[in-house]
Amino acid sequence: MVRNHPTAHYITEAIHTMIHHPTKTKGYLLEHTRSIPDYFRKVWYHQMEIADLFWRDMFIRLEKYQYEVKKSYEETVTETTEYKITIGSIPTDSESNSNFVWYINGVTQEKLQELATVIQNFTEDTIKLYNHGVETEIR
């Protein structure tokens, strides 16, 4: 089957995969800082590229950062997770000066889940509205 539309559900699936990725056990330990007395910070990192043949000259990257921070006056370790979305173009030889990259930093899990829902609903509504016959590709 030849697709004639962007497969937006790839983005939705990648978002869910990224949220549930065990980054602290399987991710890359990006930073382990103990330079200040009674203070430590650990940062784990994981990234995913989202490929879609329809958008062969574009890329979307999801990045996940998990932080553990403990300061001397705190009793427990503070844990946070943030996400970053990068959308950019991969220029061809003829348009080597016309590329762009768009960074969205500090995205929360809630906002990432909201984005996945918006993409899923938009895709489903578009298929229903225009009846492209690609219902099996939407999950």
Is 63 part of a structural domain of the chain?
Answer: yes
- 42 with 11: CB under 8 angstroms? no
Kindly report the CA angle at 85 between 77 and 69, in degrees rounded to 5?
10
Is 137 part of a structural domain of the chain?
Answer: no
Is 138 part of a structural domain of the chain?
Answer: no
Indicate yes or no: pTM above 0.85. no
Is 77 part of a structural domain of the chain?
Answer: yes
Domain count, the chain: 1
DSSP state of 137: G
Is 105 part of a structural domain of the chain?
Answer: yes
Q: Is the pLDDT of residue 135 over 60?
A: no
Is 92 part of a structural domain of the chain?
Answer: yes
Range of the domain at 64: 9-130
Is 40 part of a structural domain of the chain?
Answer: yes
Can you give the pLDDT at residue 129? Answer: 78
Q: How many residues does the chain have?
A: 139
Can you give the pLDDT at residue 51? Answer: 67
Can you give the pLDDT at residue 131? Answer: 66
Is 2 part of a structural domain of the chain?
Answer: no
- The span from the CA of 98 to the CA of 91, in Å, is 7
Question: pLDDT confidence of 132, banded at 50, 70, 90?
Answer: low
Q: Is the pLDDT of residue 74 over 60?
A: yes
Can you give the pLDDT at residue 43? Answer: 94
Q: Is the pLDDT of residue 55 over 70?
A: no
Mean pLDDT, the chain, rounded, equals: 80
- 46 with 95: CB under 8 angstroms? no
